Amino acid sequence: MTQRPARHRVVITGIGCVTPLGTDVATMWQSLLDGRTGFGPVTRFDAATFSTNFAAQAPDLDLADWYADPSPFVGVGRNTKFALASAAQAWKQAGLGDPKQPSSSQSQVDPSRVGIYLGSGEGVLDFENYVRTNLAGWDAEKRTVDAAKWAKAAYENMSAVRELEQESNMTLSHVAQALGACGPAYNCLTACTASTQAIGEATEILRRGDADLMIAGGAHTMIHPLGVTGFIRLTALSSRRDDIPNASRPFSIDRDGFVMGEGAGMLVLETLEHAQKRGATPLAEITGFGSSADAFRITDIQPDGQGARYSMLEALDEAGIGPDDEDDNGRPLIHYISAHGTGTRENDSIETRAIKNVFGDRAGQIPMSSVKSMLGHLIAAAGAVEAIVCVQCIHTGILPPTKNLNKPDPVCDLDYVPNEPRDVNSIGGVRTALSNSFGFGGQNNTLVISRFEGESR
């Protein structure tokens, strides 16, 4: 048995996304810089009587736009479609071949060394929608189910494959099939931090040498009567029905919750040695990952932000960055923070407190923003898309804004890049970004994403 190196450096070589602001990275990124929001009335079901009747919906997809033969994926749920489209984009950018042109695939990778780690949402919502629309017993007008008719129809007509599709790991299985990934395969469902955790854990798999390449990210949709109702009951959603385009207002004194979104983000991660061997171009490097639990109430963040603080400190420590470290221009060495920034009263103030606890007097010198103010909250997919935003910040030297920040909350007194993008190239651009994700149940995950600087690390 060959002895593996103790730790490998991990680079990002491909990125892809499906979001309410576009079905590719370039479109989404330009929309963020333009300050567009992806919010509008819910069209997937009748939400007229809901206190929140709007969301950030992603476009409907035709997988033939990404795959030469999409027939194996007929009938998959929306979140799986989002994942498949995003994965195809990332795979192609990484130089691994174009799934729409199978003859272009390159035999550069050992399938048994290619793994997947996703933070993918529940398939049960798509399953419930199938039950309502395809089986007898559902009265759409009365919104009731005749249990006897439903049970008979389910027994006689229910597809075994359709039953499997409700399992949250099915998205993982479809992506593995589409790209021929036969290595380590994992799915986590840790609420709004799931895809950040997936990227971090995939990085750890690569660092210890258990794979050469990992497809990591997440996909989710909860724009469905059950999903929307649940978040309304949690008082997490904005109810600003009279001003939908400006409903999400992170860090603003008049914030009243987030706008539910949907979509996916996927990254191709590789060991540096593997990427170099096949001539791939690193887009950025994952240099730190931190994870913690609040050990508090499942619906609330610890008021002092201790869990978030632990997560950030662990990620910084792994990246070899001290909270007081600065670059050659005297800036804190973290040049940008992608805030979790949901727009709920508790989250924004507690995240601000946690960042102050980590960086002390220098916290106000670090620009940060919440793209949820434009994309909405993509739930399990949010962290992966926000990691992609960090990669774009590193490449362009431009920071996306926090939209609708016209009335800052005095408690939220850091630099949130209000309303307009910020070009920081004149002061050295973005060398290192930190991305935060916090989830219901008390999960906290943080990534440190750095500019790839060859062998200098």
Among all residues, which ones are annotated catalytic?
A: 192, 340, 377
What single-letter DSSP state applies at residue 448?
A: E
| Neighbour tally for 304: CB within 10 Å | 13
Integer CA distances (angstroms), 2 to 39, 110, 211, 212, 385, in order: 53, 17, 14, 15, 37
> Left if phi > 0, otherwise alpha if psi is -120 to 50, otherwise beta: which for 364?
alpha
Show the DSSP H helices in 180-305 as ranges. 194-207, 225-233, 272-277
Distance CA 249, CA 238 (A): 9
**DSSP line for 247-266:** ---TTBTT---BPBB-EEEE
CB 13 within 8 A of CB 452: no
Residue 142: exposure state from Cβ atoms within 10 A (0-12, 13-18, ≥19)? exposed
Integer CA distances (angstroms), 411 to 31, 60, 247, 336, 343, in order: 29, 40, 20, 20, 13
Amino acid present at 69: D
